[in-house]
Amino acid sequence: MKRTVLAVVTVLATSAALIQPVQAGGHAKSLRSVAPRDLRIGTAVAGGGHHLDQPYPDPFTYDKPYRRVLAKEFNSASPENQMKWEFIHPERNKYNFGPADAIVKFARQNGQVVRGHTLLWHSQNPAWLNEGTFTKAELRQILKSHIFTVVGRYKGKIQQWDVANEIFNENGEYRSENIWIRELGPGIIADAFRWAHQADPKAQLFLNDYGVEWPGVKVDAYEALAKQLLADRVPLHGFASQAHLSMRYGAPDQLAGVLQRFDDLGLKTAITELDVRMDLPEGGAPTAEQLATQASYYKTTLDACLAVAGCNSFTIWGFTDKYSWVPVFFPAEGAATVMWDDFTKKPAYYTLRDTLAAARR
């Protein structure tokens, strides 16, 4: 059954949000408290990756106001880097579970589920893996052992795993940079799902990518792969759109249709890494018009998820500009999240909250 979203109500809510005074938190309602009961509202948990080069200590560990907002606003948490290979498996025979354990513990203490990210990816793999010389049999065993070790450690504590991340390029071909697919062939994808399922039979196992917000060859490639995996009885449970959006490229106005194609296959769907970056004017402060457009992109993405029955997880890739990956990768762009550096809220935040509240009724 589709959730009903009242367009009129949400348009009015969006306009109201734009003139609403900034609130720092306090007793204001949170995103998680107003959301439909069958929809998890998540965020990436900042740490590792680009944060290691920034002049601040680990955000999740040391930023108390950050932790308060994280606990208050969200009921799903995605380790931004802390479960990636280079972070959690830095040497061949050494795992670094501390940071991921801390997130899983925090999540349980705060009534949050966790999205595990990620198991089979071309990026952020450790040097020992990228530069090592292994036979095909050894590589296969390395992946299998990693999946059983990491998924097994968090068995029963992870709601969804991004098993295969960004495996297709923009032409709908398997990425040649992906060590697993390049060396072992695409059949390794099915194995990764099977191993993850054996290690944690209750976890929902996902394909996850960016650039799948509009129909095209990349979405076609995922649809064909999903059909094949399901025909082969591989434990694939979901397809996720990361939704890293830029105001240079327009609103994701066909996203509901894309998600519906996977829903029609019987899969769950999710939004896993939403942010909306913009070109920053001189001086760095976005205009009111830019913030309104950004809010509308956030809303279009949430509406797409709300319109599809099996879309039960909606995650933004960080909630404060203070820790966003965007300015590190796109120096001319920024302000991509729903809160300013001091956690005060942008129009996008209020638009999400009003849209969630309208959908819950």
Active site residues: 166, 273
177 binds ligand G3I (CB under 6 A): no
Please select the residue that binds ligand G3I; options are 23, 54, 123, 287, rule is CB under 6 A: 123
Minimum distance from CB of 211 to ligand G3I (Å)?
Answer: 10
- Burial tier of 188 (Cβ tally within 10 Å: 0-12, 13-18, 19+): buried
Q: How many residues bind ligand G3I (CB under 6 A)?
A: 13
Minimum distance from CB of 225 to ligand G3I (Å)?
Answer: 18
Please report, as residue ranges, which positions from 227 to 266 form the binding site for ligand G3I (by CB under 6 A).
242
Please select the residue that binds ligand G3I; options are 80, 263, 321, 354, rule is CB under 6 A: 80
Please select the residue that binds ligand G3I; options are 328, 332, 341, 342, rule is CB under 6 A: 328
Tokens 């956030």 correspond to 298
Please select the residue that binds ligand G3I; options are 124, 198, 228, 293, rule is CB under 6 A: 124
Minimum distance from CB of 123 to ligand G3I (Å)?
Answer: 5
Minimum distance from CB of 275 to ligand G3I (Å)?
Answer: 9
Single out the residue of 353, 333, 358, 229 nearest to residue 276, CA to CA.
333
Query: How many whole angstroms separate alpha carbon 35 and alpha carbon 198?
Result: 32
Minimum distance from CB of 104 to ligand G3I (Å)?
Answer: 18
Read off the amino acid at residue 311. C
Residues 349 and 16 sit within 8 Å (Cβ to Cβ): no
Please select the residue that binds ligand G3I; options are 27, 53, 284, 289, rule is CB under 6 A: 53
Please select the residue that binds ligand G3I; options are 50, 72, 144, 360, rule is CB under 6 A: 50
Output the furthest CA–CA distance in the chain (Å, rounded). 61
325 binds ligand G3I (CB under 6 A): yes
CA-angle at 154, arms to 148 and 160, nearest 5° = 95
Q: Which residue is nearest to ligand G3I (CB)?
A: 49
- Segment interacting with ligand G3I (CB under 6 A) among 10-18, 50-58, 98-106, 214-222: 50-58
Read off the amino acid at residue 128. W
Q: Which is nearer to ligand G3I, 99 or 347 (CB)?
A: 99
Contacts of 125 (CB under 8 A, 6+ apart): 85, 86, 179
Residue 79: Cβ within 10 Å count: 26
Residues 89 and 146 sit within 8 Å (Cβ to Cβ): yes
Please select the residue that binds ligand G3I; options are 213, 273, 321, 354, rule is CB under 6 A: 273
- Burial tier of 354 (Cβ tally within 10 Å: 0-12, 13-18, 19+): buried
Strand 333-334, strand 238-241: pairing:
unpaired
Query: How many whole angstroms separate alpha carbon 347 and alpha carbon 351?
Result: 6
Residues engaged in binding ligand G3I (CB under 6 A): 49-50, 52-53, 80-81, 123-124, 210, 242, 273, 325, 328
